[in-house]
Amino acid sequence: MAKLKYMGGLRTESTHLASGNKIITDAPLDNQGKGQAFSPTDLLSSSLASCMMTIMGITANTHNINFDGTEAEVTKVMAANPRRVAEIHITFTMPKIAYSDKEKAMLENAAKTCPVALSINPNILQKIEFVYPKV
């Protein structure tokens, strides 16, 4: 799936073997790093949002729901002793579309049951919000 290399200076490079795409990580500023790229804990948090959006997209495709243009903002909250991700906050802003209550329920359930959401330690609080702009 991937090959990683430690580049020195608390930086890693991950290569996706099938495509050759690369991801660089840096340690964050508050943990001896340069903060010039995503940190590994940033990727964990962003992976949750990305997985949620992917599964929501699959649900949207399956049920002919327009999902294009949906955006997500991710915030992670760190804890100390031990240093770890304590909370992941994600706000999804949906496109300006008149979704039915059934469509909203399907999309929100898809997000909350994505593989990453179900794989993250239950001690990590997942605070998920869905914003539906008025049409």
Say what the pTM is. 0.94
Looking at residue 122, what is its pLDDT?
95
Output the CA torsion sign for 85, 89, 92, 39: negative
pLDDT tens, N- to C-terminus, the chain (135 residues) = 999 999 999 999 999 999 999 999 999 998 999 999 999 999 999 999 999 999 999 999 999 999 999 999 999 999 999 999 999 999 999 999 999 999 999 999 999 999 999 999 999 999 999 999 998
Please report the domains of the chain, with CATH numbers, ordered by start residue: 2-31 (no CATH), 40-131 (3.30.300.20)
Among 113, 40, 126, 26, which Cα is nearest to 75's? 126
Looking at residue 65, what is its pLDDT?
97
Beta bridge partners, 6, equal 12
92, exposed or middle or buried, with CB in 10 Å at 0-12, 13-18, 19+?
buried
Q: Is residue 36 a contact partner of residue 50, using CB atoms and an 8 Å limit?
A: no
Beta bridge partners, 15, equal 3, 22
Among 72, 30, 32, which Cα is nearest to 54's? 72
77-98, pLDDT tens digit by residue?
Answer: 999 999 999 999 999 999 999 9
